[in-house]
Chain A
Amino acid sequence: MLKRVHFPTSALPYLLVAPQIIITLIFFIWPASQAVYQSFLIEDAFGLSSEFVWFENFQILFEDSQYLETFWRTILFSAAVAVLSMGSALILAAFADRVVRGATTYRTLLIWPYAVAPVLAGALWVFMFNPTLGIFPYILEFIGIDWNHYLNGGQAMTLVIFAAAWKQIAYNFLFYLAAMQSIPRSLIEAAAIDGAGPVRRFWDHIFPLISPTTFFLLVINAVYAFFDTFGIIHAVTQGGPANSTTILVYKVFNDGFVGLDLGGSAAQSVILMILVIAMTVVQFRYVERKVEY
């Protein structure tokens, strides 16, 4: 017979985890379940009459060519933002890694944009690129570019991509710099002694060694572009012109809060919820295992 050790049961552990559980239930599980429920309804704005329709809201979405276009647009937008912001951050970090004097100042300055709220970042870009009053359209005119992002969807998309990427550079920069500084100096020095120049050392040693960070940042940036760029888009283009900058999360807002189509909007958020769950799973299953901190 095994002797089992019995501890007197105590409420203490339950009490200690309770706040966490309660917060999760109230702020995550409850709203999420509401969204799922709402996505099965077709309802008027005031909630006076509602009809339970199972998956019809989803069916309407996937038959809507506009929604599918939004899907592709979001993927394009996220990819562009991730590549642009990670690429710039990588270059900046590679240089910052070599800076000897004034490194702290340089780093601090680079981190600043991260402290700017998305809506403010958007407002800054709106001022700089206002077709009538902005400084950039004025400069662009000299090289023959007629800038009007109110009318030109491509230009509007470019603008929000730049604004969103700019905002994220600081974050990526921090991670890249930390990753580069954790590479043992002896490795780099050995390569230098073998005659590898800075570019060669970067591509052959530094870049492969920081690849876990790159993968981690890729997921983070994708999530950022998918969900946190709402403020920028709202401030810069409000999804226009002709929907050319409407990404999934903006469409949720627009259909739900502007159009008061709660069922359709809820169905879209459920789809987004599934997407973010998928991304998180990828991050935990794949990335966490490979990143060497």
Chain B
Amino acid sequence: MTHFKTVLFGALAAGMTAGVASAQTEINWWHAMGGTNGERVDKIAADFNASQSDYKIVPSYKGNYTETMTAAVAAFRAKEHPHLVQVFEVGTATMMAAKGAIYPVEQMMKDAGESFDKGDYLPAVISYYQTPEGELLSMPFNSSTPVLWYNADALKAAGVEAPKTWDDVKTVSKALVDNGMDCGVSFGWQSWVMLENYSSWHNMEMGTKENGFAGFDTEFTFSQNDKLAARLDDVAAMSEGNLFKYGGRRGDSLPMFTNGECGMWMNSSAYYGSIKSQAEFEFGQTMLPLDTAAADAPQNSIIGGATLWALAGHESEEYKGLAQFMTYLSSAEVQAWWHQETGYVPITTAAWELSKDQGFYDSNPGTDTAIKQLSLNTPTANSRGIRFGNFVQVRDVINEEMEALWAGDKTAQEALDAAAERGNALLRKFERSAK
């Protein structure tokens, strides 16, 4: 009998939900946030849905970034695409080229009559997603930038301070290894950290045409950057004596840092949550090291992470709801909460100010490193971001060539030359397909 009741109530509840849903306009949001971040995405959507009764945001997890983007592309070809999709930064050129498929977010806000001021957003964050004319194409959502994480306990035990320059990195690594650590420094997402950000941090170009912003006929020039080659050669030489140890692509090397094998780790500021839950030592973060041979002072770092793209082909009423959701999403409260929970940078100045007022940085020292790095200077053509087509594959090419360097099969110059040559072939292929 009880069982029957449960079923009955279940059916009733389902019926009611369906009834409510039909009165609301549903807006689909495909995202790539798994685990805890996925729960946070669900919370943002649920809070928005509770805040009004006209629209219902339905978030769905579609796998990692690549899988989510592929799913959206396939759905678009089948005309079953969602209203909103989260695409990682390297997919920007592909999305941009798909003129009939996307609905530029700035245009959408305007059409929906939603107030929108680009001045509220952090320049280093939105500059990555603007057209050369300055139109914002997609809404920044989760942005991070690489920082240098360090094991504060280990550094203290070795009697050294957190490094500021690459020379410091070497000294500190040496001190750590001498003090009994397995390795000094490691990093992940090597193309992003050691190539893309190295270039922007020292205000050097990676490719022609303003790093691809000014046209798809861009070509890679990073192989002509002898400072970069010298730095990479130096890092490879640090493998001697384990001052540097390579631990794989993406975040694969995270355990090396959190289990105390390596004392320093360069990777996204968004690893804050993972490190906090895994590391059994005091840790800190500081700005990326400066290569004193390449520049006197750092410029600014570039972001990684993802933005939200509106896809074209839905009803204007639905875009109205989407525009409202965009406003909600970038409100100071939501952004500050998201930033403090995840380690992603807040995308608006207001959210940064709010986090300051809430005393977040005082109780969690170092958590503002990322945002300070991004807003260090006004972004230049070299440091506002990169926009290369087929960049997912180009990054793979760079990964492969850099792995050949770490394995000692190639010198930095050989690896960079090969990466640029293979990368340029991919750029030409993209230029052709994006006609």
Contact = CB atoms under 8 A, between A and B. Distances in A.
Given A132-B255, A260-B73, A255 B393 contact: yes
Interface in B252-268: 252, 255-256, 259, 261
Contact of A260 (B94, B249, B401, B404): B94
Contact of B255 (A44, A45, A48, A133): A133
Contact of A151 (B99, B246, B396, B434): B246
A280 B308 CA distance: 47
B407 interface: yes
Interface residues of B, number: 38
A42 to B, nearest CB: 5
Contacts of A257: 66-67, 70
A126 to B, nearest CB: 10
Interface stretch (A16-24, A198-206, A237-245): A237-245
Given A240-B399, A261-B393, A151 B70 contact: no
B94 A45 contact: yes
B145 to A, nearest CB: 24
A44 B406 CA distance: 34
A5 to B, nearest CB: 51
B38 interface: no
Given A49-B434, A240-B399, A44 B97 contact: yes
Nearest to B405: A242
A29 B353 CA distance: 60
Interface of A: 42-49, 51, 130-133, 148, 150-153, 238, 240-243, 254-255, 257-261
User: Interface centre among A46, A152, A257, A258, by most B CB within 10 Å?
Assistant: A46
Interface of B: 66-67, 69-70, 73, 76-77, 94, 97-101, 246-249, 252, 255-256, 259, 261, 390, 392-393, 396, 399-401, 403-404, 406-407, 429, 432-435
5 contacts: A148-B246, A151-B403, A238-B249, A242-B399, A260-B390
Contact of A150 (B77, B100, B247): B247
A240 B400 contact: yes
User: Interface centre among B248, B256, B432, by most A CB within 10 Å?
Assistant: B248
Contacts of B396: 254, 258-259
Contacts of B435: 49, 51
Contacts of B255: 130, 132-133
Contact of A48 (B69, B100, B407, B432): B100
Contacts of B404: 242
B403 A258 contact: no
B256 A46 contact: no
B77 A46 contact: yes
Given A44-B433, A46-B101, A151-B407, A258 B392 contact: yes
Contacts of A255: 393
Contact of A44 (B98, B246, B252, B407): B98
A73 to B, nearest CB: 14
Contact of A132 (B99, B261, B399, B429): B261
Nearest to B261: A132
Given A44-B433, A45-B73, A132-B247, A241 B98 contact: no
A48 B66 contact: no
A49 B99 CA distance: 10
In the A-B complex, the 5 residue pairs with the closest CB atoms: A150-B248, A259-B393, A242-B400, A46-B98, A241-B403
A258 B401 CA distance: 18
Contacts of A254: 396
A45 B261 contact: no
A261 B390 contact: yes
Nearest to A64: B425
Given A240-B400, A261-B390, A151 B406 contact: yes
